[in-house]
Amino acid sequence: MELVLVGLSHKTCSVETREAFSISPERKRLLLKAMLSGGLAAEELVWVSTCNRVDLYAVGKKKDCEASLIGFLSDPSQYDANKQGGGHLYSKTGKEALDHLLNVACGLDSMVVGENEILGQLKDSYYGAKTAGVTGRLTNMLFQRAIGVGKHVRANTKISQGGRSVAFVAVQYAGRIFGDLDKAKVLLLGAGEMAEAAALAFSEKKAAITVINRTLANGQELAAKFSAQCLPWEKLDEALTGADVVLVSTSAKEPVLTKDMMSKVMSLRHGNPVFLVDISVPRNIQPEAGQLSNVYLYNIDDLERIVAENLAQLSDEINKARGIIETKGAEMWDKFNHDSSVDPADFKVPLVIGTRGSRLALVQTDIICGLVRKEGVAIDQKIIKTSGDIFLDDSVEKLIAKDGKGLFVKEIERDLIDGGSRLAMHSLKDLPGELAEGLMVASFLKREDPRDALVTRGGAKLADLPPNPRIATGSLRRRYQIAKLRPDAVFAPLRGNMDTRLAKLDRGDCDAIVVACAAFKRLGLEKRISQVFTADEVVPAPGQGVIVVEAVASDQPVMRLARRLDHARTRICAEAERLFLAEMGGGCATPLGAHAEITDEGLLFRVFWSSPDGKKRLSLDTYIDCAKLSESITDLVAKIKQLV
């Protein structure tokens, strides 16, 4: 896996092209859909869309990921035929992509070198991707550190001296056009960061400022900071009639000033000129407005001349910043390579992985062993019997009462701690909320289908089973949820390996059994599945469908190896589910379902809870902020505990 960047910027294309490719909310959904469906060939993703650039950073296999990102940005179906991005795109990978990110964070790649806004925009972009659940170990580390380097450069050089920003340069430009701004009436459309920076620069020039914003409260807040006037949006025509300079910086996706609007305004100005400065992307002033007599329209690309003059004054500071970037970039890349690389020489004898001895456990362990061997490391399996394997005649509830939580892991964890093995394979749903001291989940393999399934002898679905069907399952979670779908169902306990369970069904001991889809698929038994329950019908167990590798946290060679097996999006979902399990205090026999799914709308989190006797039940779904996972889960659990 490699860091891949594809993008375009003010250096490669005009503002007209940049606005065509900006990441609007709708395009963000398209981008996320493409990623989640595999269309981007990316495991991690961060998008950066500002007035000066559209950059897509991804982690994936270089060739496939790069081609997919270029394809997404160049797709003519998303744009006018004349605005295809292919000729404007740049592509970088590995250390070169990291260097680009650092230059962006430090303001060296900005139109206004040293501008401060880009650091906030980069942070917002990163947290937007993290909230959506599409960042991972590499993007988290690189973006967090890049933001830190951006702060370090600004603190240790004079590159941002004087509050440098696009808005600052726009005000300089307005001063050259109009002359003494202390005699000017300035109208600001917008109340965001760029508008605030412009208000500061205009106030320093003693200009008379009026602020108009669609959300009046935000406009009033900005105006109050600079003792400016604030008008409601309905007064826009009136304000335009009296303004000398109009600076527009809004997040509108369509022009807020059109040619027709300005034509009406100009008829009331008695020939007085007006200077319009549009620093928005997409542009907020219709370009045709500049064709009107006495209307002088300038956009962000027209600022280049002042930018070039300012650049000459910063050459020494730019060189200092580049030196910092070179040093910090090398440190970051070396650390990443060290933390993620595997040296087979670190493993002088074959690794040993502990596992249960069931057919399913061995198939799942084979998956891990295959991935480890691809890293050039030899590995052997060690079968360990657990309490859940030994006491097959007891119910899960009885075993928990006798032996506590972690029926299928305690003995395997003990062997890890004692040094008999260095890795352990588990089905995540079998892990209790808390692991043994000194151990951690080192990697989450890519999730298999997490849903539950019904298996019948003749392929009948749940609704087609005879009255009072006998359904075998050892899970109260499944029992209580399926009872909602078939209230007449009669439930029987079910334990043992998959062969034992199928034999019970085939003998006629029951009409149906309920199993995990993932288990049947891994065993090659998917043809026996009669019906797959949606996650809304039967909320899966926390961690269902996920294979994890457990290891001793201090065993660094093993931890580095395990990171190579980790699947970023599975980790996010699994960690959310396990946080929920721990907060709820649940174990493998608790009637508790939790299923996290990353969608183009965010992390969808489904919950099922029941009291052990089934008398109290609750089902709900909500969206979780992945950037604040722990707090979001804590708040959700508090809400559930209030409801039940």
Cα(126)–Cα(143) distance, integer angstroms: 7
User: Which of 165, 8, 178 is CA-nearest to residue 83?
Assistant: 8
Could you tell me if 159 and 318 are in contact, meaning their C-beta atoms sit under 8 angstroms apart?
yes
Q: How far is CA 56 from CA 77, 93, 316, in A?
A: 19, 12, 31
Cis peptide before 282 (omega within 30 of 0): yes
Helix, strand, coil % over all residues of the chain, rounded to 5: 50, 20, 35
Residue-wise DSSP of 133-180: T---HHHHHHHHHHHHHHHHHHHHSSTTTTT--HHHHHHHHHHHHHS-
Residue-wise DSSP of 534-556: -TTTSPPPTTTT-EEEEEETT-H
Q: Which amino acid would we find at residue 548?
A: V
Plot region of 274 (φ>0 → left; ψ -120 to 50 → alpha; else → beta):
beta
Residue 288: is it exposed, middle or buried by C-beta count within 10 angstroms (0-12/13-18/19+)? middle
For 10, the 3-state DSSP assignment is coil
Q: How would you list the strands of the sheet with 547-552, edge to edge?
A: 379-383, 351-355, 423-427, 547-552, 439-444
Tell how far CA 219 is from the center of its chain. Answer: 31
Could you tell me if 374 and 348 are in contact, meaning their C-beta atoms sit under 8 angstroms apart?
no
Q: Look at the block and give the residue holding tokens 């043994």.
A: 436
Residue-wise DSSP of 607-629: EEEE-TTSSSEEEEEEEE-GGGH
Cα(142)–Cα(442) distance, integer angstroms: 20
Instruction: State yes or no: is 573 an active-site residue.
Output: no
DSSP 216: H
Indicate which residue of 51, 510, 517, 626 is catalytic. Answer: 51
Q: How far is CA 543 from CA 282, 303, 414, 531, 607, in A?
A: 43, 54, 22, 21, 13
For 598, the 3-state DSSP assignment is strand
Plot region of 184 (φ>0 → left; ψ -120 to 50 → alpha; else → beta):
beta
Cα(564)–Cα(346) distance, integer angstroms: 15
Positive or negative CA dihedral for 266, 268, 269, 274?
negative
Q: Which amino acid would we find at residue 339?
A: D
Cα(277)–Cα(429) distance, integer angstroms: 58
Residue-wise DSSP of 442-502: EEEPPP----EEEEESS---GGGSPSS-EEE-S-HHHHHHHHHH-TT-EEE---S-HHHHH
Query: Among all residues, which ones are annotated catalytic?
Result: 51
